[in-house]
Each structure stands twice: as C-alpha cells, then as structure tokens.
Amino acid sequence: MKNYNVDAYPPMFNTVDIALFSIIDNELAVMLIQRAEEPYKGFWALPGGYVDVENDEDALAAAKRELQEETNLENIYLEQLYTFTKKGRDPRESLANRPCRIFSIAHFAIIDYQKVKAIAGSDASDVAWFKISKLPKLSFDHSQIIDTAVSRIRNKINYTNVGFELVPKKFTIPELRSVFEKVLGRELNPTNFRTKLLKLEILEDTGEKKVEGRGQPAPIYKLDKKKLLELQKNGETLFN
C-alpha cells in the first residue's frame, strides 16, 4: 500500500446533532439544550457533540451517546438526516492553525414528549421543548438543521407510520387527522382524509366507538402495520 503523508491534508472533524420533535399544545416542537460551554455559551442548540473516533464510535452511536449525556434520554430510534458541511458553520474551525472543517451528521426522530423525561446533563445547563413557530436564537447552523428535519418529517408522514406513532394504539380518524395536521402545519379536509384512509385499507375497525363532540359516536381503529408495509413497498402514499 502506498504511503501517504496524512499531515499534508487539512484536518476534518465529525460531530453529530440530534433533532427530536414532538407535538405540544397543537404544534410541532423541537427539544433544545442550553449550552453550558463555549462556543455559544448560554445559547440554545440541538443536543450533539463530537464522534469519538479513538474508541471506534460511528455516527449513530455518537448521536445516541450525546443524547443520553445531554438529555438523559435513551432507547430513542434515530434516523440519519443529512450531513452539514458548509465552511464556517462551527466557529472552532478558525482556531486551527491551518484550514479546518467541522462536519455535522444530523439525526432526527419524532416522539411522544409525554413518554419521556429529559434532564440536562454533561455540557448542557438546561433542556426544554420549543414550538417551531417560537424558536429562540440558535447556535451554529442549527436553524438550518431544524428546517431540514421538519421538511423531512412532513414528507415522511405521507408514506411512513410517523403520524401513527403519535396517537394511542387505538384511535379515531379525527384524532389521527389532528396529529397529521399538527405535523404538517395545515388543515386537512376531513372527508377526503377519511375516504383516503379507508380506501387504503390500513385501518382495522376494533368494533368500539368513542363519543366526540355532539355528533355520532366515532368508530375506533388500530393500524394494520402489515398492510401499511405492503403499501410502502408498492410506493403508495397516504396523501397525494
């Protein structure tokens, strides 16, 4: 194997950032930590940190470790979002004595915030949920990461079970529609929503009913995961 002088190449460091989303007060929200260290000490940011290459850590393992260290959350299913590489995205690049780049491999997930309890730890002085419409001033390029993650989630809800993860195992169609509307940030036609779902045959009627408002009791359904998986394999989407 040819010998290379690795010192001749500009240094590159890999970090991870994690965007966790949930529905809070009828709106999509994201979990942020308040940084306890420089750079951006006191600013809000996504949980994250450096990949521990010395211990052969990969990006996903680093994301899970950083999430646990900074928020005390474990066993969260994370999906890789995008790699952010723009020059100057991290002010620590300028501290190197030669050209340097710090990449971030971002991950995301959407969870039920009521089922978890985040506690600030490590280099975080606080942790809190913020509605997407009322985000504080963020550090690094985390506004861009959040925007990218929101777009991905709103696209995924059209062909995965993302929306179903935010309702109980048994639900009414109006309850499901409400979740979809909150994630998408727009209203959906009730009749069209119901007609499309029933046509796809991915809902199993439990035979139970629930009183909602002044109308007739609404049928209670549960998701048929096998049929949804079949639709996904066939490229079928929930909504056009």
The string of DSSP letters for 121-162 reads -TTEEEEEEEEGGG---BSTTHHHHHHHHHHHHHHHTTTSST
Q: Is the pLDDT confidence value at 74 over 90?
A: yes
Rounded CA gap, 149 and 155, in Å? 10
Q: Are residue 190 and residue 119 in the same domain, yes or no?
A: no
Q: Are residue 86 and residue 137 in the same domain, yes or no?
A: yes
> Which CATH number is 115's domain given?
3.90.79.10
> Which CATH number is 170's domain given?
1.10.10.10
Rounded CA gap, 142 and 67, in Å? 15
DSSP 115: G
CB 206 within 8 A of CB 221: yes
Provide, rounded to the nearest whole percent, the portion of the chain with pLDDT above 90: 64
**Which of 68-72, 157-161, 197-201, 234-238 shows the highest mean pLDDT?**
68-72
Provide, rounded to the nearest whole percent, the portion of the chain with pLDDT above 70: 95
CB 84 within 8 A of CB 57: no
Rounded CA gap, 42 and 54, in Å? 29
Residue 160 or residue 41, greater confidence: 41
Hey, what are 232's tokens? 């996904």
Rounded CA gap, 65 and 63, in Å? 5
**Boundaries of domain holding 195:** 163-233
Taking CA 90 as the corner, what is the angle to CA 133 and CA 151, rounded to the nearest 5 degrees?
35
For helices 173-184 and 190-200, the axis angle rounded to 10 degrees is: 110
Pick from 89, 78, 203, 101: nearest CA to 140 = 89
Rounded CA gap, 183 and 110, in Å? 10
Digit-coded pLDDT (tens) for 168-197: 899 999 999 999 999 988 899 999 999 988
Q: Are residue 60 and residue 122 in the same domain, yes or no?
A: yes
Q: Are residue 136 and residue 169 in the same domain, yes or no?
A: no
Hey, what are 69's tokens? 């260290």
Q: Are residue 16 and residue 127 in the same domain, yes or no?
A: yes
State mean pLDDT over 212-228: 87
Residue 105: pLDDT band with limits 50, 70, 90: very high
